Chain A
Amino acid sequence: MSVTRQLFVGVGLLLALGAIFAPWLAPYDPVATSILEKLKPPVFVEGFDGTHWLGTDQLGRDLLSRCLYGVRVSVGIAVLGLLASAVLGTAAGLISGLVGGWVDRVVMMVADIFIAVPFLLLVLVGIALFGSDIPVLIALVGLARWETYARIVRGQVLQIREQPYIEASRLLGASETWIALRHVLPNISSTLLVLLTLNFPSILLLESSLSFLGLGVQPPTASLGRMVGDGRDHLIFAWWVAVAPATVILLITFIVQLLGDWLRDFLDVRLAE
């Protein structure tokens, strides 16, 4: 492993530990406001007074604590949404590829319809219908990119379907479900794994973009995108309010992307891009 990679893995582990143990590690309550302490500079800026390591935001909330909690919220939503879209897309792709016929055509039609709708509008209508509670956000984020899984899985199924061992299994009386879960799924698992890690940054960015616009996670809950959005109004005099959470977002997406590239090389998966 190269030095850069080791460095990124180290930072990633630190971030993960920080997020998991946030309730014990965070020096302050992430939602406690204190007007007297507002917009305090962080440790590397002149005027640091030794209390808030990453400074405070416009309501005097400790940025380090908010970042730690924010990672939990943002990564939590992204991971659950990612899994939801992977399960949905994989199931659709498996059914489409194995059953074929009109079922296949319907699934592909739905995928075509899906990409012909601006995704942001879909999310906005979803929020207007169901509110912006975290489970709703996970479900909406979970719709993103499901059709990429469906298409790639379907393509792989179409190749695997004709293999002799599938035919043998079918001759032995195995059901389609058994074949799908026991023979096809394990064969496409490495592709899926790589696809998951490659999709993760875009899902995380989707959640943070929504929150940045004020549409996603609602205050006072800390989410990284929302924090950057709040910091936008204070860029001139207190740039750290936006820069701290933005840096955390970048670190996470960098690390996951490196992981994805590495996994792809390691598992030697070639994706039909």
Chain B
Amino acid sequence: MTRLLLRRAGWAVLTLFFVLAGCFAAVRLTGSPVDLLYGDGATLEQIAELEREWGLDRPLPEQFFRYLHNVMRGDFGVSLVERRPVVTVYAERLAASLQLAALAFVLGTLVGVPLGILSAVGRGGLGARLAMGLTFFGFAVPHFIIALALILVFGYHLNWLPSTGASTPAHFVLPAITLALPLMAVNARYMRNALLDVLRQDYVRTARAKGVHEFRVVGMHAMRNAVLPLITVLGLEVAGLLNGSLIVETVFSWPGVGKILTGSVSRRDFPVLQFGVIVYACVVVSVNLLVDLLYVVVDPRVRVNT
């Protein structure tokens, strides 16, 4: 058990290292940030001066290991464009992203999972059909179309809700629904498939034969086993949400991290980009690790097999 954990953790650290190294090299291939800052007006001396100041004149491996050294000490560098510490730039916008992400995640889970259960248990019924229809819809509609449709209907025509900014609770409604709809669809589909699989098992038939109430069969016997695949999906959704959504932030003028992160590519703001990649990779890797652990907790069979 401990050996397994250690091996997984080592694997995770190795993954992080490669992600960072790849990203570090790739963004530097896109060009020098100095060119963008000065444009055509700069003299060669000025460019060389700034590149020396930022350490961009050093060989790539040296730059990388110096950066790694700083990261180990908690120093993620200074944004080349804003001239402020990357962590500050990021933290300012993280709150808006997190609030929205949390709301969307809760909404997506609280609606999606019951929908999935409903469509698995009440197969053929009206409720199940409705649930399946919604799932189908959520899979086929991209964020930008949901967002525009919501703005068009609730923002412009009915004039019920604001569609840009993040100042009041009412501002959360449309972006949160936009983010949550596809999540509901994914959660409902996974829940349904997993539950249908489990409901076919012998022990469920046994439980029913014993005369256990259907509510208890699904709630106690089936759910406990069906929830495993869902944990993985939910974990990856958290990782995806944490980096903000460029589309939702663009359409609703939401002050989240998605925009500075994607903007850092075109502005060649390397420290910001690297920080974003580190955060995302850390979340994905730790979520995967956590999911492995949860499996062990929820499913005793895993403990025996490993």
- Which residues of A are at the interface with B, using a C-beta cutoff of 8 A? 109, 112-113, 115-118, 120-121, 124-125, 128-129, 201, 205, 208-209, 212-213, 225, 228-229, 231-232, 235-236, 239, 242, 246, 249-250, 253-254, 257, 273
Given contacts A112-B15, A273-B193, 20 further A-B contacts (CB under 8 A): A109-B18, A112-B288, A115-B284, A117-B277, A118-B276, A120-B246, A121-B261, A121-B262, A121-B276, A121-B277, A125-B30, A125-B265, A129-B30, A208-B142, A209-B143, A235-B156, A236-B156, A246-B148, A253-B139, A273-B189
Q: Chain A residue with minimal CB distance to B18? A: A113
Q: In the bound complex, do residue B277 and residue A118 qualify as a contact, i.e. CB atoms below 8 Å apart?
A: yes
Grouping DSSP codes into helix (H, G, I), strand (E, B) and loop, the A interface class, with mixed when no group exceeds half, is: helix
CB within 8 Å of A: which B148-168 residues:
148-149, 151-152, 156
List the 8 shortest-distance A-B pairs measured between CB atoms, nearest first: A253-B140, A124-B265, A128-B30, A116-B281, A205-B142, A116-B284, A212-B144, A246-B145
A113–B14 Cα distance when bound, in Å, is 9
A113-B22, A124-B262, A273-B190 known; A249 vs B145 contact (CB < 8 Å): yes
Interface flags for B263-306 (1: CB within 8 Å of A; 0: not) read: 00110000001001100110011001000000000000000000
Q: Chain A residue with minimal CB distance to B142? A: A205
Cβ–Cβ < 8 Å partners of B136 in chain A: 254, 257
Q: In the bound complex, do residue A273 and residue B27 qualify as a contact, i.e. CB atoms below 8 Å apart?
A: no
Q: In the bound complex, do residue B15 and residue A113 qualify as a contact, i.e. CB atoms below 8 Å apart?
A: yes
Number of A-B residue pairs having CB atoms within 8 Å of each other in the complex: 106
Contact of B16 among A116, A124, A249 (CB under 8 A): A116
A228-B145, A235-B152 known; A118 vs B243 contact (CB < 8 Å): yes
Q: Total interface residues on B, using CB and 8 Å?
A: 49
Cβ–Cβ < 8 Å partners of B261 in chain A: 118, 121
Cβ–Cβ < 8 Å partners of B18 in chain A: 109, 113
Q: In the bound complex, do residue A201 and residue B139 qualify as a contact, i.e. CB atoms below 8 Å apart?
A: yes
Cβ–Cβ < 8 Å partners of B15 in chain A: 109, 112-113, 116
Q: In the bound complex, do residue B247 and residue A213 qualify as a contact, i.e. CB atoms below 8 Å apart?
A: yes
Q: In the bound complex, do residue A116 and residue B285 qualify as a contact, i.e. CB atoms below 8 Å apart?
A: yes
Contact of A125 among B19, B26, B246 (CB under 8 A): B26
Q: In the bound complex, do residue B144 and residue A228 qualify as a contact, i.e. CB atoms below 8 Å apart?
A: yes
A249–B243 Cα distance when bound, in Å, is 26
Cβ–Cβ < 8 Å partners of A205 in chain B: 142
Q: In the bound complex, do residue B30 and residue A250 qualify as a contact, i.e. CB atoms below 8 Å apart?
A: no
20 contacts between A and B (CB under 8 A): A109-B14, A113-B15, A116-B16, A116-B280, A118-B243, A121-B265, A124-B266, A125-B26, A125-B30, A201-B140, A208-B144, A212-B142, A213-B246, A213-B247, A213-B250, A228-B148, A232-B148, A246-B148, A273-B190, A273-B229
